[in-house]
């Protein structure tokens, strides 16, 4: 079929809206009419050539839409179902067997190679190969093919346009707090970085009943927003020693810390701000080879923990509906971060994300 898609053709270049051909779904594939797709930092990183995803490629990995057609072997969803498309996984490795698909042993090829497993792509333009299947979807497009492993059925009681970001950025921040760190009622947490991931973590910590929630950033406007959605304190990293300020607020350090920046000096400080038995989660990607430095005695003697976290360690089939429930109850107002753009303005949406004008851009098809 003919579709419209935003194609990344050159490193750092603008995406171009083009008319492409999309193959029919194979037996294990699902055709989704895309309603809206969030713009995630990872799309920008790939557009900028920092990962070996081949071009020309259709990016986009926070798609929401309606199932239009399913392959012969698909039983999980049916035409008409409202769905979001999340990260892909293999379903057969030790992590997938253990219900930890975000640590799938095939995470990288399944999400970044932008081909099917057999090396083919579903997209083309007058015979030219266009890479598809980015994060099992390539949803910067009016239609996308995805898989049972990465499609999540959602309620039709909430506007579909809002829900795409739950599939990556929002579940990354909220899941880090709820699934990985397992923040408990009455505890304290410091969250470093107040982009859409960090702010999702702030909202999740608030929803889980944490009573000291410290947002850390250098952007005063974002810190003010963090306080609107649950932060009890905000610290401007540009204006003083954050670790000392956290000690002053808590007396002995925070029970949990979460770094969303991927900046190793910030991570070093996050670990130093932990109370005894505290845990620090790290979810941002730094440059390859970057090293985290720990004060060994401080780390060991307090029984402190440091953990890497991908996609909020979430099991999307259960976690995304849970986030929607929290949203419907008024406990997780992630919609406040979203600004909509028409599909034709996808490059403006990306630019506004990079400049920080918009916290979470979503393009409407
Ligand atoms: Zn797997
Ligand atoms: Zn993402």
What spacing in Å lies between the alpha carbon of 148 and ligand 1's midpoint?
13
Q: What is the pLDDT of residue 287?
A: 85
> Radius of gyration of the chain from Cα atoms?
20
The residue length of the chain stands at: 365
pTM of the model: 0.97
- In the chain, list all ranges with CATH 3.90.180.10: 2-167+333-364
Q: What is the pLDDT of residue 288?
A: 85
10 Å CB burial of residue 108 (0-12, 13-18, 19+) is exposed
- In the chain, list all ranges with CATH 3.40.50.720: 173-310
For residue 87, which ligand has an atom nearest its CA? Answer: 2
What spacing in Å lies between the alpha carbon of 314 and ligand 2's midpoint?
13
Judging by DSSP bridges, how do beta strands 57-58 and 151-153 pair with one another? unpaired
What spacing in Å lies between the alpha carbon of 8 and ligand 1's midpoint?
28
For residue 85, which ligand has an atom nearest its CA? Answer: 2
For residue 101, which ligand has an atom nearest its CA? Answer: 1
What spacing in Å lies between the alpha carbon of 135 and ligand 1's midpoint?
14
Quickly count: other Cβ atoms within 10 Å of residue 238's Cβ.
10
Quickly count: other Cβ atoms within 10 Å of residue 88's Cβ.
25
For residue 94, which ligand has an atom nearest its CA? Answer: 1
Picking from 250, 234, 245, the residue whose alpha carbon sits closest to that of residue 194 is 234
What spacing in Å lies between the alpha carbon of 39 and ligand 1's midpoint?
25
For residue 102, which ligand has an atom nearest its CA? Answer: 1
What spacing in Å lies between the alpha carbon of 106 and ligand 1's midpoint?
6
For residue 111, which ligand has an atom nearest its CA? Answer: 2
pLDDT along the chain (365 residues), means of 10: 98 97 98 98 95 96 98 98 98 97 97 96 98 98 98 98 98 98 98 98 98 97 97 96 97 98 95 98 91 94 97 97 98 98 98 96 98
What spacing in Å lies between the alpha carbon of 26 and ligand 1's midpoint?
21
**Assigned fold of 173-310:** Rossmann fold (3.40.50)
**Assigned fold of 2-167+333-364:** Quinone Oxidoreductase; Chain A, domain 1 (3.90.180)
Exposure string of 261-300, with b = 16+ CB inside 10 Å and e = fewer, is bbbbebbbbbbbbbbeebbbbbbbebeeeeebebeeeebe
Q: What is the pLDDT of residue 345?
A: 98
**C-alpha angle 158-33-329 in degrees, rounded to nearest 5:** 10
Q: What is the pLDDT of residue 286?
A: 87
What spacing in Å lies between the alpha carbon of 184 and ligand 2's midpoint?
26
What spacing in Å lies between the alpha carbon of 223 and ligand 1's midpoint?
37
What spacing in Å lies between the alpha carbon of 91 and ligand 1's midpoint?
5
What spacing in Å lies between the alpha carbon of 134 and ligand 2's midpoint?
11
Residue ranges with CB less than 5 Å from ion ligand 2: 40, 42, 168
Q: How far apart are CA 106 and CA 103, in angstroms?
A: 8
What spacing in Å lies between the alpha carbon of 229 and ligand 1's midpoint?
35
Q: Kindly give, in sequence order, each residue whose CB lies less than 8 Å from that of residue 317, ignoring residues fewer than 6 positions away.
A: 152
What spacing in Å lies between the alpha carbon of 48 and ligand 2's midpoint?
15
């Amino acid at each position: 079929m003919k579709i419209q898609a935003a194609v990344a053709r050159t490193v750092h270049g603008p995406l171009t809206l083009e008319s492409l051909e999309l193959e029919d779904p194979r037996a294990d594939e699902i055709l989704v009419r895309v309603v809206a797709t969030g713009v995630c930092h990872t799309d920008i990183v790939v557009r900028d050539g920092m990962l070996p995803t081949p071009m020309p490629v259709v990016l986009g990995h926070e798609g929401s839409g309606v199932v239009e057609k399913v392959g012969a072997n698909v039983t999980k969803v049916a035409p008409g179902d409202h769905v979001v498309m999340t990260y892909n996984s293999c379903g057969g490795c030790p992590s997938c067997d253990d219900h930890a698909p975000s640590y799938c042993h095939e995470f990288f090829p399944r999400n970044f190679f932008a081909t099917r497993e057999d090396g083919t792509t579903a997209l083309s333009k007058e015979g030219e190969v266009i890479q598809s299947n980015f994060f099992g979807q390539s949803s910067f497009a009016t239609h996308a093919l995805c898989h049972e492993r990465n499609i999540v059925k959602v309620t039709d009681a909430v506007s579909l346009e809002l829900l795409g970001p739950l599939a990556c950025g929002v579940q990354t921040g909220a899941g880090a707090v709820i699934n990985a760190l397992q923040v408990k009622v009455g505890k304290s947490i410091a969250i470093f970085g107040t982009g859409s991931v960090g702010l999702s973590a702030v909202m999740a910590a608030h929803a889980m009943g944490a009573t000291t929630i410290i947002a850390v950033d250098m952007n005063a406007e974002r810190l003010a927003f963090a306080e609107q959605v649950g932060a009890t304190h905000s610290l401007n990293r540009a204006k003083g020693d954050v670790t000392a300020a956290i000690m002053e607020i808590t007396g002995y350090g925070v029970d949990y810390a979460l770094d969303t920046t991927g900046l190793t000096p910030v991570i070093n400080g996050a670990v130093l701000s932990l109370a005894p038995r505290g845990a620090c989660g790290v979810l941002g990607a730094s440059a390859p080879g970057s090293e985290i430095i720990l004060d060994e005695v401080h780390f060991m003697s307090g029984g402190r923990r440091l953990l890497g976290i991908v996609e909020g360690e979430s099991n999307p089939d259960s976690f995304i509906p849970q986030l929607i429930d929290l949203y419907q109850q008024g406990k997780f107002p992630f919609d406040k971060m979203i600004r909509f753009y028409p599909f034709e303005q996808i490059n403006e949406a990306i630019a506004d994300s990079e400049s920080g004008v918009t916290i979470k851009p979503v393009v409407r098809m």
